[in-house]
Amino acid sequence: MASDVAPKAPPVFDEGFRDRLRDLLVWRRDVRRFRTDPLPSDTALRLIESARLAPSVGLSEPWRFATVSDPERRRAVRENFRTANENALAGYSGEKAQLYATLKLSGMDQAPLQIAVFTDETSEQGSGLGRATMPETFAYSAVAAIHAMWLTARAEGIGIGWVSILNPAEIPAILDTPSDWRFIAYLCIGYPEIDSSSPALEEAGWERRRPTMDFVIER
């Protein structure tokens, strides 16, 4: 039976909206310095709801989220970062090592909200559509969800920092997550100490962004 409900008209994204959207993309930052002010109690749920609006391969929704509030688990993740960071520093020499030692690469001591993102590698949702030839699209879907969360947070004046200097093999045990979950990201979330339109690593002199055409080829 056909539905009697008329379909909604799509919204009009005018030039003003597009300009604001670009502002949001420009001002989205990977935050490392947070204020310790508490976030609204529903922040985690709202951000995760935004993340779930991201595309996923075969509508599989493979993402899984673990909010981390237990002090001992947080301490264990911080220790994991400390060890990984020391190992990473040992891989540099000269000026690069000196600069690396000055970088603030984790906000775990200050961020009031911390979320670990996983994919459920055994989920049957989506019936495998799109994964037979590219099974890594499960992980790509989770990353798309993280980006949706990131933009939503920035629009609310909230910052997110993705801590990638970790031993990923240890995180599932620390957080006691299901064995079929694959670790994707550890996110620190809170109000940033400062807002900036340029990456902190660029400001610190670690690296600079390149022109768009450096990444484009024609065939």
Single-letter code of the amino acid located at 149: M
Instruction: Round to whole Å and give the CA distance between 111 and 161.
Output: 9
In this predicted structure, what is the pLDDT of residue 1?
A: 54
| pLDDT at 160 > cutoff 60 | yes
Q: For residues 111 and 33, is the Cβ–Cβ distance under 8 A?
A: no
Task: Enter the DSSP assignment of 64.
Answer: E
No. of H helices and E strands in the chain?
7, 4
pTM of the model: 0.94
Q: What is the pLDDT of residues 173-186, one digit of tens each?
A: 999 999 999 999 99
Q: What is the pLDDT of residues 97-128, one digit of tens each?
A: 999 999 999 999 999 999 999 999 999 999 99
Rounded-to-integer distance, Cα 72 and Cα 101, Å: 26
* Mean pLDDT over the full length of the chain: 95
pLDDT at 191: 98
Residue matched to tokens 């109690």: 41
Whole-angstrom Cα distance, residue 28 to residue 160?
Answer: 9
Question: DSSP state, 5?
Answer: S
- Set out the domains of the chain in order of their start, with CATH numbers: 30-215 (3.40.109.10)
Residue-wise pLDDT tens digits, 20-63? 999 999 999 999 999 999 999 999 999 999 999 999 999 999 99
The SS3 call for residue 104 is: coil
**What is the residue whose two structure tokens read 């629009």?**
155
Inform me whether the pLDDT recorded for 4 exceeds 80: no
Instruction: Tell me which DSSP letter residue 136 carries.
Output: T
Q: What is the full DSSP assignment across 115-184?
A: EEEEEETT--TTTTTTTSS-TTHHHHHHHHHHHHHHHHHHHTT-EEEEE--S-TTTHHHHHT--TTEEEE
Classify 79 as helix, strand or coil. Answer: helix
Instruction: Name the residue with higher pLDDT: 97 or 2.
Output: 97
